[in-house]
Amino acid sequence: MFSVKVEWDFSTEQESLIIGLVEKPVKFEGYLAELDQLLDGHLTQLVKSGDISAKKKAISKVHTFGKIGPKRLFFVGLGKENGFDFETLKEAFGKVFQTIQDQKLQETTVLLDSFKSDLFEENDVAHALSESFALSTYRFKGYKQSSNEPEKKIEQLTVLGGMDQTEIEAALTVGYTYGKATNSARELVNLPGNMLTATDLANYAKSLGEKYDFEVEILEKEDMEKLGMGALLAVNQGSVEPPKMIVLKYQGKENWEDVIALVGKGITFDTGGYSLKPKDGIVGMKTDMGGAAAVLGAMEVIGELKPEQNVVMVIPSTDNMVSGNAFKPDDVITSMSGKTIEVLNTDAEGRLALADAVTYAKHHGANYIVDVATLTGGVIVALGNDTTGALTNHEELFEQVLESAVEAGEQMWRLPIFEKDKERVRGSKIADLNNSPGRDGHAIMGAAFIGEFAEDTPWVHLDIAGTATAKKDSDLGPSGATGVMTRTLALFVERFEPIK
């Protein structure tokens, strides 16, 4: 897929060459000066005339008519030299890779030096290049007969850089690993509910375990009954599909200490149960396992890069269906923790499944918990579709998660949990908790409920109801599943500093 060259010759035959261009007075240097000379100064003239644009994310194609090895030059506008950030760099790469893929070209070379600036080192540019290459060229194949036809895609990407070849290769590997794992999460979320049951999700986790030598544990319904996981079992009552509690363990330290738990909501389809969703709201509920996909994607990165951390991943998985045996409003259930729950809304099922998962993560020795879930429509009302909502009981843990999100380019904003919010979820007259105190502060109520099971363990909740899917294409991928929080969680694990 990738090859790195420190020295390169413009006589080398190639379908295309990608060049970054900053807005500044036209004066080509280094490789660009050589290229301009080989093309008889035409590049200078095309920049002056505006036929080659340096405006941010502008793509300009120039045919070379056999004067040099590359048949086409793709110039990528980088905008003003001091106004370019890392996320825009990834988007610029993504846009040009999509352009090349759409033109069915199968090989290209990137002139890495041309993308450097005072803001980025060459290995940072290499990371951005390979991550955006994976993200931007992803497509969900789907089930149309025409989709069985072989598609043309970029098969070979050569990177021409001036620094140490080993460093560039390492940066390319890490960036591509992050992008590819995000695509794995996207693929899971895009699958229809009848093709991704709890059993299928468990089998996928097993395959990761086998590939990366993770310890695997899959709890069956009988196991959950013995452990008293009444919250997850209640959600599963209406289904003909058996539930699964899915656990992967990665030990990167000598002793099982400072254990990070990644907990992902794995509701493979959500009808809302007897609190039935409306006909427009029920479409798309195959994506309600976006949290599970994110933590599985993060485990893929962990398996590839092997950080010196201890991680346990826990996914409670089932669908939420309607039947004569389904749980219903006014039921009282008992969670694994022993806390009783009055069910006021069967469509607030994710927090019930997560309650037992968080308790089970603590059973596995979790010292820190991050849960990820497509939990509430309320977070979309509060923050829109581009920002993940975050809530926590621990400032320092949250700061580490936030720093990782910023570096990953995934927007996040913190919402509060006050004591009165906790009182509302403890407001049942007949049980310890109620699962739905009302629509006001909906995202906060969902998180506050899960926090009752985290108790004193440092914990961060990430509500990805708005960010797990995108309604339109972007420079870094198509509409549909985004794989959001995969990269944030992987970075968080990689950079984690134990809290004293």
Q: How many domains does the chain have?
A: 2
Band (12; pLDDT cuts 50, 70, 90): confident
- In the numeric block, which tokens belong to residue 226? 């013995």
Q: For residue 160, what pLDDT is reported?
A: 87
If you average pLDDT over residues 305-315, what whole number do you get? 98
Band (149; pLDDT cuts 50, 70, 90): low
Band (456; pLDDT cuts 50, 70, 90): very high
Q: For residue 82, what pLDDT is reported?
A: 74
Rounded Cα distance between 196 and 188, Å, is: 8
If you average pLDDT over residues 456-470, what whole number do you get? 98
Specify whether 443 is located in the same domain as 303.
yes
Q: E strands along 13-69, which residues?
A: 14-23, 59-63
Which of 130, 163, 196 is the C-terminal boundary of a domain? 163
Rg of the chain over all Cα atoms, to the nearest angstrom:
25
> Quick check: 92 and 34 in contact, CB under 8 A?
no
Q: Which of 5, 277, 328, 426 is catalytic?
A: 277
If you average pLDDT over residues 57-86, what whole number do you get? 90
CATH number at 48 reads: 3.40.220.10
**pLDDT per position as a tens digit, 266-303:** 999 999 999 999 999 999 999 999 999 999 999 999 99
Whether residue 11 is predicted with pLDDT greater than 90 in this model: the reply is no
Specify whether 40 is located in the same domain as 72.
yes
* Centroid of chain to Cα 272: 25
If you average pLDDT over residues 114-142, what whole number do you get? 90
> In this structure, is residue 48 part of a structural domain?
yes
Q: For residue 234, what pLDDT is reported?
A: 98
Specify whether 124 is located in the same domain as 228.
no
Q: For residue 147, what pLDDT is reported?
A: 63
Lowest mean pLDDT among 141-155, 216-230, 273-287, 304-318: 141-155
If you average pLDDT over residues 232-242, what whole number do you get? 98
**pLDDT per position as a tens digit, 370-386:** 999 999 999 999 999 99
CATH number at 357 reads: 3.40.630.10
Q: Would you call 424 a catalytic residue per the annotation?
A: no
If you average pLDDT over residues 97-126, what whole number do you get? 89
Q: For residue 85, what pLDDT is reported?
A: 85
Q: For residue 148, what pLDDT is reported?
A: 64
Specify whether 121 is located in the same domain as 243.
no
**pLDDT per position as a tens digit, 199-211:** 999 999 999 999 9
If you average pLDDT over residues 99-127, what whole number do you get? 89
Whether residue 429 is predicted with pLDDT greater than 80 in this model: the reply is yes
> In this structure, is residue 80 part of a structural domain?
yes
Helices (H), 238-317: 279-282, 290-305
Specify whether 92 is located in the same domain as 218.
no
Specify whether 131 is located in the same domain as 232.
no
**Nearest one of 445, 465, 452, 458 to 498, comparing CA atoms:** 458
Please tell me which residue, 180 or 1, carries the higher pLDDT value.
180
Which of 101, 129, 163 is the C-terminal boundary of a domain? 163
Whether residue 2 is predicted with pLDDT greater than 90 in this model: the reply is no
Band (23; pLDDT cuts 50, 70, 90): confident
> In this structure, is residue 171 part of a structural domain?
no
Q: For residue 462, what pLDDT is reported?
A: 98
Q: Would you call 277 a catalytic residue per the annotation?
A: yes
> In this structure, is residue 110 part of a structural domain?
yes
Which domain does 311 fall in, by range?
187-495
> In this structure, is residue 172 part of a structural domain?
no
Q: E strands along 12-132, which residues?
A: 14-23, 59-63, 70-80, 107-111
Q: Which of 351, 362, 424, 487 is catalytic?
A: 351
Specify whether 328 is located in the same domain as 243.
yes
If you average pLDDT over residues 14-23, what whole number do you get? 90
Rounded Cα distance between 475 and 97, Å, is: 9
> Quick check: 51 and 108 in contact, CB under 8 A?
no
Lowest mean pLDDT among 146-150, 386-390, 417-421, 441-445: 146-150
Rounded Cα distance between 38 and 106, Å, is: 25
Specify whether 233 is located in the same domain as 351.
yes
For residue 265, give the amino acid letter: K
Q: For residue 152, what pLDDT is reported?
A: 75
Q: What is the mean pLDDT of the chain?
A: 94
> In this structure, is residue 451 part of a structural domain?
yes
Which of 115, 130, 163 is the C-terminal boundary of a domain? 163
Whether residue 242 is predicted with pLDDT greater than 90 in this model: the reply is yes
Specify whether 192 is located in the same domain as 159.
no
> In this structure, is residue 180 part of a structural domain?
no
φ and ψ at residue 292, rounded to 5 degrees: -60, -45
Specify whether 137 is located in the same domain as 234.
no
> Quick check: 444 and 381 in contact, CB under 8 A?
no
> In this structure, is residue 158 part of a structural domain?
yes
Specify whether 201 is located in the same domain as 333.
yes
**pLDDT per position as a tens digit, 24-37:** 766 787 778 888 99
Whether residue 162 is predicted with pLDDT greater than 70 in this model: the reply is no
Band (322; pLDDT cuts 50, 70, 90): very high
Specify whether 329 is located in the same domain as 420.
yes
Rounded Cα distance between 379 and 59, Å, is: 36
In terms of Cβ atoms closer than 10 Å to its own Cβ (0-12, 13-18, 19+), residue 367 is: middle
Q: What is the pTM of this model?
A: 0.96
Please tell me which residue, 149 or 38, carries the higher pLDDT value.
38
Band (433; pLDDT cuts 50, 70, 90): very high
Residue with structure tokens 């134990």?
A: 498
